[in-house]
A and B are shown apart, each in its own frame.
Chain A
Amino acid sequence: MSLGSYCFRKSLWVFHFGGASCNNCDIEILDCLTSRYDVERFGIQLIGTIRHADVLLVSGSINRKCRDRLLEVYNQAPKPLLVVAFGACGCTGGIFAEGNTFAGPVDKIIPVDAYIPGCPPKPEAILAGIVKLINK
């Protein structure tokens, strides 16, 4: 493992892409930054622009409008980039999987590195997903 990729694992900056989300996953993501779980211990920060991002976190179901935006955001990101499908909607589509406007789960649009299922995932599940992502 080179020094660069070692540093990459130690400081993942997360950009949060919210699709047609119901905001429940978003709140659970913010829970991870609070004093009880504190993902900054692993060097993880939420940042505001895709140009600084190392992890693209996609939550919410992806419909036909979101699909092009998600592709554009993915192409704008500097590589190497890890993609996380977050919540039941991101992983499989959840209850929207057979909807009319649903444009497929995230892994049909862009390559996905880790799945964190749940509706919404508990902060413990998010931490388990982060550990899997770091050791990948």
Chain B
Amino acid sequence: MIKELFYFLIFPGIIFSVLIGGVLSWADRKITARVQFRKGPPFLQPFYDLGKLFYKETILPRNGARMVFLAAPVFALFSAAMANVFILLPSIFPGSGFKGDILVVFYLLTIPSLSYLVGSLASGNPLGTVGASREIKLIISYELTFILALICIVIKSNMSISISDIIAVQQEGGAFIGSISGVLLFIVILFVIQAKLALVPFDMSEAETEISHGVFIEYSGTAYAIIKMARYIMLFALPTLMVTLLMGGFAFTGISILWSVLKLVLVLLLITLIRNTNPRLRLDQAMRFFFIWMNILAVLAIVLTIFKL
């Protein structure tokens, strides 16, 4: 019991992943600044933001459902942290985890987006409602692609649905990204990550220039700080999932620590560069992108996997 609580609250759980996610968020902003020939924020900037948000006043909406409004960020934080624990534990302690944890991770990674939209609908703000409707359409469009990609990975790893087995198969026979279908899967999951993090080509649910932060419009103070923490954790959890499923997982001995960090930073760099070189898509364009092109790529990857390519 104590061990599980330690896992959830401290080491791969909330505190550790907020710290690492904050550093990754700083790296994201710094890379963005360098792309635009700016100098960028200082290293501790994400933590200054968090501290400031905890210091500010929290305003509750008069016409909204206040309990739901306040509970939604907490659900987002806890499910993101739980997903991160399930993703990281098989890498830290090989052989741990349980059968079917990849499905649990799939569901837990959906809960943050769902709770953002429930919270914004509970706030009673019209712009928040617009953002929530966009968010739910985006969820509908990328979840099918994500589950197709996961099915392909399960087929690749000899029909095993636990993350530690997937890592073991990759350590015996080489990382999945080394095949043609692996490269296709890498592209598909990269765009799904982009949409799950609501970064720029798919940030129509919080477009700050048209609907002024959309789903987050009514959040202030501590509630918004918890949302920020959940987003930092997601920024850590999703590239970690990518590395675990496709690029051979992490290893924490000797020189391979550096190699693990490099894999994580490579995925983050790709996400940031996509974010910086693309305009915001309209909702119908994003849905068409996922429903047609990404699904075709994912199905193609499954077919290639069956023919062992």
Contacts and interface: CB of A to CB of B under 8 A. Distances in A.
Q: How big is chain A's contact interface, by range? A: 20 to 34
Nearest to B46: A11
Contacts of B282: none
Interface stretch (B210-218, B236-244, B262-270): B210-218
B52 A7 contact: yes
Contact of A48 (B57, B58, B212): B212
B55 A78 contact: no
Contact of B38 (A8, A40, A51, A52): A40
A35 B220 contact: no
A122 B309 CA distance: 61
Interface in A46-88: 47-49, 51-52, 54, 76, 78-80
A79 B59 CA distance: 9
Interface in A1-40: 2-8, 10-11, 34-35, 38, 40
Q: How big is chain B's contact interface, by range? A: 20 to 34
A111 interface: no
A40 B41 CA distance: 5
Nearest to A51: B220
Contacts, number: 86
Contacts of A49: 208, 212-213, 216-217
B75 interface: no
A136 interface: no
Given A48-B209, A78-B221, A11 B40 contact: no
Contacts of A78: 56-59, 220-221
A17 to B, nearest CB: 13
A33 to B, nearest CB: 8
Closest 3 CB pairs of A and B: A4-B55, A7-B51, A48-B212
18 contacts: A4-B51, A4-B52, A4-B54, A7-B51, A11-B49, A38-B39, A40-B39, A47-B208, A47-B213, A48-B209, A48-B212, A49-B212, A51-B59, A52-B220, A54-B56, A78-B56, A78-B58, A79-B56
Interface of B: 29, 33, 36-42, 44-45, 47-52, 54-59, 208-209, 212-213, 216-221, 224
